[in-house]
């Protein structure tokens, strides 16, 4: 893919300070970002909590080597799957990279669907207690005996607002909400309305664009198609290779990523193989639903409707038109 012509691009003074592009999974963010890269001298900063991990390529829909050679991509393949990476680390890394990109007279283009990362960068994070291994282990043991729906019911008694947002089998988030309750005696939902505010109180900066589907069925079809493509491309073998290292567990953030968790459960005998596709698609739909809920709470975002007739080039052109109309 050719880079933008440098006739005046490198010397322009009216370039935006940054462009932000988000939306639910499978909506087409990466394709629009690459189309923008044909028109502006951008460098892409990934805002995706799964793309940071090396060796996790198929299940994360990681940009291809060709795409990464055509346009500089940052915050991809920066962690081993056994190493955690936090939203606070992302905010620090992204802030540094944005300054470096601007120094090169390029435009930082932040692309991804991890809304917590956007929030950490643009609005800060709530002061929550750190993870407690002993509390988590105790919750895991109880869940093994009673099941996560039972713990979800317990959460509904102590933090109904948090429970209402979570599916009864959303192990990771139920565990975290109960962990916070046990450590602080306060509901997670209450702590998340502190000084830094929740996603509902986040104010979008200029040039913050959200690709949002007009038809949920359209998005569901894309999600199913992409998961099928991942399976055909070798997702199960990818997880087998990661699992063979012997250093990864189902509790690691990397292995809780949608797709990987479902394959890992199949390989470990925790779920039947014949339900893998159904579980993977269902989990991805749940992720998309959570992302859309976050997006609707971001004030001032610029919505670009996407659906069956959407074209990547038209979406990119619409973004540029809005940027030019607003000035830099």
* Tens-place pLDDT, residues 165-189: 888 888 888 998 999 888 888 788 7
| Higher-pLDDT residue of 263, 180 | 263
**pLDDT value, residue 13:** 58
* Lowest mean pLDDT segment, chosen from 206-215, 242-251, 264-273: 242-251
26-57 pLDDT, tens digit each: 999 999 999 999 999 999 999 999 999 999 99
pLDDT band at 12 (very low <50, low <70, confident <90, very high): low
The pLDDT mean for the chain works out to 89
Kindly state the average pLDDT of the residues 262-282.
95
**Residue the block writes with tokens 């999974």:** 25
**pLDDT value, residue 188:** 82
> The whole model's pTM is what?
0.81
- Residue 164 pLDDT > 90, yes or no? no
**pLDDT value, residue 256:** 86
pLDDT band at 196 (very low <50, low <70, confident <90, very high): very low
Percentage of residues in the chain with pLDDT exceeding 90?
A: 68
Structure-block tokens of residue 150: 């039972």
pLDDT band at 3 (very low <50, low <70, confident <90, very high): low
Structure-block tokens of residue 35: 């189309």
Which range of 11-20, 76-85, 118-127 scores highest in mean pLDDT? It is: 76-85
- Residue 203 pLDDT > 60, yes or no? yes
Gap between the Cα atoms of 276 and 249, Å rounded: 19
Instruction: Answer whether 283's CB lies under 8 Å from 274's CB.
Output: no
List residues bridging with 305 in a β-sheet.
Answer: 212
Closest to 172 measured CA to CA, from 287, 292, 296: 287
Which range of 86-90, 162-166, 240-244 scores highest in mean pLDDT? It is: 240-244
pLDDT band at 96 (very low <50, low <70, confident <90, very high): very high
**pLDDT value, residue 134:** 87
Kindly state the average pLDDT of the residues 294-313.
92
Structure-block tokens of residue 139: 């919750």
**pLDDT value, residue 92:** 93
pLDDT band at 5 (very low <50, low <70, confident <90, very high): very low
Give the containing element (helix H, strand E) for 19: strand 19-22
DSSP character at residue 131: P
Gap between the Cα atoms of 268 and 250, Å rounded: 10
Instruction: Answer whether 304's CB lies under 8 Å from 29's CB.
Output: no
Structure-block tokens of residue 187: 């509901």
- Residue 4 pLDDT > 60, yes or no? no
Percentage of residues in the chain with pLDDT exceeding 70?
A: 91
């Amino acid at each position: 893919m050719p880079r933008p012509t440098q006739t005046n691009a490198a010397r322009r003074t009216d370039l935006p300070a940054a462009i932000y592009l988000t939306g639910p999974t499978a909506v087409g963010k990466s394709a629009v970002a690459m189309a923008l890269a044909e028109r502006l001298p951008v460098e892409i900063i990934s805002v995706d909590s799964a793309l940071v991990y090396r060796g996790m390529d198929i299940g994360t829909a990681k940009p291809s080597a060709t795409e990464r050679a055509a346009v500089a991509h940052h915050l991809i393949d920066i962690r081993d799957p056994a190493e955690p990476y936090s939203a606070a680390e992302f905010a620090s890394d992204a802030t540094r990279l944005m300054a470096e990109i601007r120094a090169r007279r390029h435009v930082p283009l932040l692309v991804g669907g991890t809304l917590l990362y956007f929030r950490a960068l643009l609005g800060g994070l709530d002061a929550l207690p750190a993870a407690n291994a002993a509390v988590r282990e105790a919750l895991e043991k109880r869940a093994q005996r009673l099941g996560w729906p039972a713990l979800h019911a317990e959460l509904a008694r102590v933090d109904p607002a948090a429970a209402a947002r979570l599916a009864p089998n959303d192990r990771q988030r139920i565990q975290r909400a109960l962990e916070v309750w046990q450590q602080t005696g306060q509901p997670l939902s209450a702590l998340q309305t502190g000084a830094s505010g929740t996603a509902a109180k986040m104010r979008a900066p200029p040039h913050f664009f959200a690709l949002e589907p007009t038809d949920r069925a359209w998005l569901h079809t894309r999600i199913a198609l992409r998961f099928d493509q991942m399976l055909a491309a070798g997702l199960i073998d990818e997880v087998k290779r990661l699992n063979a290292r012997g250093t990864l567990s189902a509790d690691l953030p990397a292995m809780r990523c949608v797709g990987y968790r479902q394959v890992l459960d199949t390989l470990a005998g925790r779920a039947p193989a014949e339900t893998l596709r159904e579980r993977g698609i269902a989990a991805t739909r749940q992720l998309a639903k959570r992302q859309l809920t976050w997006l609707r709470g971001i004030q001032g975002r610029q919505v670009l409707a996407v659906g069956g007739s959407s074209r990547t080039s038209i979406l990119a052109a619409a973004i540029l038109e809005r940027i030019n109309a607003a000035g830099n």
